[in-house]
Structures are given as structure tokens and as C-alpha cells.
């Protein structure tokens, strides 16, 4: 990939996008459409079909019909594996086109998007394709007169609802294991980042996935997402997004067919730096990158930086220096290190948090403003607040933007207390050379992921999931398959 290739793709016109149902592109039944605004310059990139409840009915019916036909659900796992590999190959073949399209849609810097979006999605399809013909049933240790068999069966119809950050990567974390397990899937992408998942649907079809097995329905969350959540023929809902919507999905399940609901929600992840960290410069750089890449629109972003009092002043200066030196600019420039904010609305929300943090007495070290306004796009300077009180809004609520809150702490016990003082429990980081302390912290921090002397890890082999109000269930790793399989027990009298 080089800049010339990216520049050739950046100005291509994007045709109007339909829904993808039953193996083909179609208009919304009522003909609705919406504009897609690019966060890079505020211009209209294309138009998108705006579905309603009856489009979801159609997509779910098509998914159910494909499931009942059995050409995918009953196919030998080795056959499904071949198609999953072809999907991965086609994603790779179209990687640059997908990455550029995604950046124009949601603003992630291309250097990150190319690896995190098509790169990670291809890897995920290959991983679950490779895994599925190694899943065995079990024989239970019953008394000798019976045979107790445990089968794994696909759950049926999986509804997938995806947020706007990393739609291909996060989408693939759910879609790939759901498909590998033999299910049919209906995906509802975020309003402001639908284009790459629509393209993925075409790729899946080209790779040989039978019609109806993978459908994408675009539209408003409160209409299309709600219709999927309330549908009586959806068996499992796999969601990544905010806690507010997660709560609604649990309610929809209770009001409809008690479908299983898996939630990957937000975080306010603590990154904890002790004075004995092995390399304070590296820790400061990773602390800045851990919050400011993709302009903070990363669920596991280390948005709270807890620093031991003895090194607090120097360390805050170092992090601020790294933050101020980050290369901001055109998200389609390979040198850019932090891209756009997804929408004007999200930018306004971020700036409101800045106002509230100032009002609460936090000290602004850098940033706090909109930048590059002349482009017409939505950009915000990496923002660092120091002396943040652990119970203040900026330390408790997820911003989902480029805002870092620094809080000094006195000792290990205080670090644990502050780290565990939010409703969330997604990710965390610990920087120390003390092996015993590292292990104590891994046990003491209430979070689904603890990084030690690093921050962030893209490897598909390790599960990602939260505790507390960061959700339930896991994406990635063999464990993700469990969400999309039912156990069936058979008693056979001998």
C-alpha cells in the first residue's frame, strides 16, 4: 500500500447504496434514503437506503428460509471452512478499497484502518473458518446403561448490531463465528458507518455464501435496531455499542421471545503507572497512543491515566508532549496518527465534556478544541486534563473521544480503589517492574482485560469482553463460538 494508490481511490464516487437481503441489493420497501456525510470534509459521500420494520421482517424471513433449507446450516464444517477462507481472500484482495471507503465513511486514520478493518476482518474469517472443523461433540460420563451425547448445534438466526468505530473488525468478530457455526445472520450497522459492511455482504456472496445467510439492513437504530431486537424469530442478538442501547436490547428480549443478548459495551479504562515502570518514556508514549489513536473512538481506550504521586508531574508532562506531537491531519494521509471524529454531533458531545471538566476544576494541559475546521470536517485536538478528581464526570463517564483524564495516586491500594471506582470494567493497563505487584494488580482490577507494560493487543486468539456495565460474553478466541452454538443432550438407552 502506498500513498499514490490511496490517492487514486480517495475521490471515487460512491454509488447509492441499497439493503442487502436474500443475496441481492434492494431498495428499502418504503423507498426511504438518507445522506451519508463524510467526517473528512462534511460533504455528502453518497445516499443510503433507510430501512424500516418491514425490511427487517423481510431480512429475518430470508435468513430463516436459508437456515431451514440447510445449504449452509447443515453443510459439513469443512465445506463452510472453504467459503470462510474465500471470504478472507476476497477481503484481502479488496483491502485497500475497503479501507479507503471506511475512512471516508467514519474518519479513522488510514494507517490504523488498513490493519484494523480489512486486515483484522480477513484474519477473523480465516480463524473461525479454520476452527469450525475442529469442534467435537462430547460423550458424558454417565452410568453404563445409557449413552449421553452432547451435540453442538447452530442457534438459528443471529442479529448483529454494530457501532461506528471499526465496523468491519467488530462486525467480523461476531459475523465470522456466527456464520462458521452454521447460522444465518442479519446485520444492522451504525447509521454513520454502514458502507464497508454492505461491501462485505457482496464479498460474502461472491465467495459462495448462499442467499439469505448474510443480510445487511441499514437505517436508524431506534427503528431498524429495535425491530431486530424485538423480532420473535431472532434467536441471538450480538451487540457492540453503548450501555444505553444495551439496556434497551435486554428489554426488547424480555418483551419478545427471550432471545439471548450478548453485550460489548463502553469503558472508562484505567491505565496505571507506578514509579517503578520499566521504561517511563515508553509508558508515556503508549499512554498517549492508548487514548488518541482513532481520536479516542476505541472501546478499550485508556481514558483514565492513574500515575503514582512520586512521578506524576514529570509523567504528565511527557504524555502531554507526546499528545501535542501526534501527527493530525488528513485521515487518508499515511502519516496521520489520529483521524476525524465520526460526526458533528459526536464532536459537539466531546466538546461539552471539555466544558464540564473545566467547570469541575480539572486542569487542561493541552487541546480541548475543534481543529482543522477549514476542511469542513470534524476534528478535535488530543486533550489532556490533569488533577482530575476520581468522582468527577470526566473520570466516570465515557467520552469516546480524544480526552485523557490524569489522576495522581499515593500507593497500590489507592490505585486499585480508583481503578475500580466506575460502573465499567472493560480494559486496563499496569506499568511496573515488580512481578508480584503485576500479578496482584491483574487479580485486583475489575476488568475483562489487563495489560501489563503494554497497552492494546490486536491478536484474535485472546478473548475481549467486559465485566460490570461493560457487558457480558466475549468476542474473539474460540470462546466467541459459544455464543452462536446451542448444546443439545441426547440420552440413548443401551
Interface positions with ligand NAD (CB under 6 A): 161-165, 170, 188-191, 221-222, 225-226, 229, 240-242, 245, 248, 264-267, 299, 398, 400, 426, 464, 466, 471
Work out how close the CB of 230 gets to ligand NAD at its nearest, in angstroms, rounded to a whole number: 9
Minimum distance between the CB of residue 275 and ligand NAD, rounded to whole angstroms?
A: 30
Active site residue: 191, 264, 337, 398, which one?
Answer: 264
Residue 253 half-sphere exposure toward CB, CA atoms < 13 A:
18
Cβ closer to ligand NAD: 99 or 263?
263
Q: How far is the CB of 278 from ligand NAD (least distance, A)?
A: 28
Output the smallest distance, CB 286 to ligand NAD, in A.
20
Least separation in angstroms between residue 192's CB and ligand NAD is 8
DSSP run (H or E) holding 465: none
* Bridge partner list, 37: 44
- Residue 103 to residue 286: CA distance in whole angstroms: 23
Nearest CB to ligand NAD, comparing residues 21 and 342: 342
Which residues are paired to 187 by β-bridges? Answer: 160, 216
Catalytic entry in 299, 308, 337, 398? 299
In the bound state with ligand NAD, the residue whose beta carbon lies nearer, of 182 and 219, is 219
Phi/psi-derived region of residue 193, left when phi > 0, alpha when psi is between -120 and 50, beta in every other case: beta
**Cα-to-chain-centroid distance, residue 341:** 16
Which residues are paired to 407 by β-bridges?
A: 306
Choice between 159 and 210, CB closer to ligand NAD? 159
CB 19 within 8 A of CB 44: no
- Report the C-alpha gap between 72 and 484 in whole angstroms: 14
Q: Which is nearer to ligand NAD, 187 or 283 (CB)?
A: 187
CB of 385 to ligand NAD, least distance (A): 19
Q: What are residue 272's DSSP bridge partners? A: 306, 430
* Of the candidates 424, 359, 346, 410, the residue with the CA atom closest to the CA atom of residue 385: 359
**Whole-angstrom Cα Rg for the chain:** 23
Choice between 236 and 316, CB closer to ligand NAD: 236
The answer to whether 299 is a known catalytic residue is: yes
> Which triple of cell numbers denotes residue 181?
457455526
* CA 358/CA 202 separation, integer angstroms: 48
The residue to which cell 517503578 is assigned? 276
CA 319 – CA 339 distance, rounded (Å): 19
Q: Which letter does DSSP use for residue 257 in this model?
A: T
Among all residues, which ones are annotated catalytic?
A: 264, 299
Amino acid at each position: 500500500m502506498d500513498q499514490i494508490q490511496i490517492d487514486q481511490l480517495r475521490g471515487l464516487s460512491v454509488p447509492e447504496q441499497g439493503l442487502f437481503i436474500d443475496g441481492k441489493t434492494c431498495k428499502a420497501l418504503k423507498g426511504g434514503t438518507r445522506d451519508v456525510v463524510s467526517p473528512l470534509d462534511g460533504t455528502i459521500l453518497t445516499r443510503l437506503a433507510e430501512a424500516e420494520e418491514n425490511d427487517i421482517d423481510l431480512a429475518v424471513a430470508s435468513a430463516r428460509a436459508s437456515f431451514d433449507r440447510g445449504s449452509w446450516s447443515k453443510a459439513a464444517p469443512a465445506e463452510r471452512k472453504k467459503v470462510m477462507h474465500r471470504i478472507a481472500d476476497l477481503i484481502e484482495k479488496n483491502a485497500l478499497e475497503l479501507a479507503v471507503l471506511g475512512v471516508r465513511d467514519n474518519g479513522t486514520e488510514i494507517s490504523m484502518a488498513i490493519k484494523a478493518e480489512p486486515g483484522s476482518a480477513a484474519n477473523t474469517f480465516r480463524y473461525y473458518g479454520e476452527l469450525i472443523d475442529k469442534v467435537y461433540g462430547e460423550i458424558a460420563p454417565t452410568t453404563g446403561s445409557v449413552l449421553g451425547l452432547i451435540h453442538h448445534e447452530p442457534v438459528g438466526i443471529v442479529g448483529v448490531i454494530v457501532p461506528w468505530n471499526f465496523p468491519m473488525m467488530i462486525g467480523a468478530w461476531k459475523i465470522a463465528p456466527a456464520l462458521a457455526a452454521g447460522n444465518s445472520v442479519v446485520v444492522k450497522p451504525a447509521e454513520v458507518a454502514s458502507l464497508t459492511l454492505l461491501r462485505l455482504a457482496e464479498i460474502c456472496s461472491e465467495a459462495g455464501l448462499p442467499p439469505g445467510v448474510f443480510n445487511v439492513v441499514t437505517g436508524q437504530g431506534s427503528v431498524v435496531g429495535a425491530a431486530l431486537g424485538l423480532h420473535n424469530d431472532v434467536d441471538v442478538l450480538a451487540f457492540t455499542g453503548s450501555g444505553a442501547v444495551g439496556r434497551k436490547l435486554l428489554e426488547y428480549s424480555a418483551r419478545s421471545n427471550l432471545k439471548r443478548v450478548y453485550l460489548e459495551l463502553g469503558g472508562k479504562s484505567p491505565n496505571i503507572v507506578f514509579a517503578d515502570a520499566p521504561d517511563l518514556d515508553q509508558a508515556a508514549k503508549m499512554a498517549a497512543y492508548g487514548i488518541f489513536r482513532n481520536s479516542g473512538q476505541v472501546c478499550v481506550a485508556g481514558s483514565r491515566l492513574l500515575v503514582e504521586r512520586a512521578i506524576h508531574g514529570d509523567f504528565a508532562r511527557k504524555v502531554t508532549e507526546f499528545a501535542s506531537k501526534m501527527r493530525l491531519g488528513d485521515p487518508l494521509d499515511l502519516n496521520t496518527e489520529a483521524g476525524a471524529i465520526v460526526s458533528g454531533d459526536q464532536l459537539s458531545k466531546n466538546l461539552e465534556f471539555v466544558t464540564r471538566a473545566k467547570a469541575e476544576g480539572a486542569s487542561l494541559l493541552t487541546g480541548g478544541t475543534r481543529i482543522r475546521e477549514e476542511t469542513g470536517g470534524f476534528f478535535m485536538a488530543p486533550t489532556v486534563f490533569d488533577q482530575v478528581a476520581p468522582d468527577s464526570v470526566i473520570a466516570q463517564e465515557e467520552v469516546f473521544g480524544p480526552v485523557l483524564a490524569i489522576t495522581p495516586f499515593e500507593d497500590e491500594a489507592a490505585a486499585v480503589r480508583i481503578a475500580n471506582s466506575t460502573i465499567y470494567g472493560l480494559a486496563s493497563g499496569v506499568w511496573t517492574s515488580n512481578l508480584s505487584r503485576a500479578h496482584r494488580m491483574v487479580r485486583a482490577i475489575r476488568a475483562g482485560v489487563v495489560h501489563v507494560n503494554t497497552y492494546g493487543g490486536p491478536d484474535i486468539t485472546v478473548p475481549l469482553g467486559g465485566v460490570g456495565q461493560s457487558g457480558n460474553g466475549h468476542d474473539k478466541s474460540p470462546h466467541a463460538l459459544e455464543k452462536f452454538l446451542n448444546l443439545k443432550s441426547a440420552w440413548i438407552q443401551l
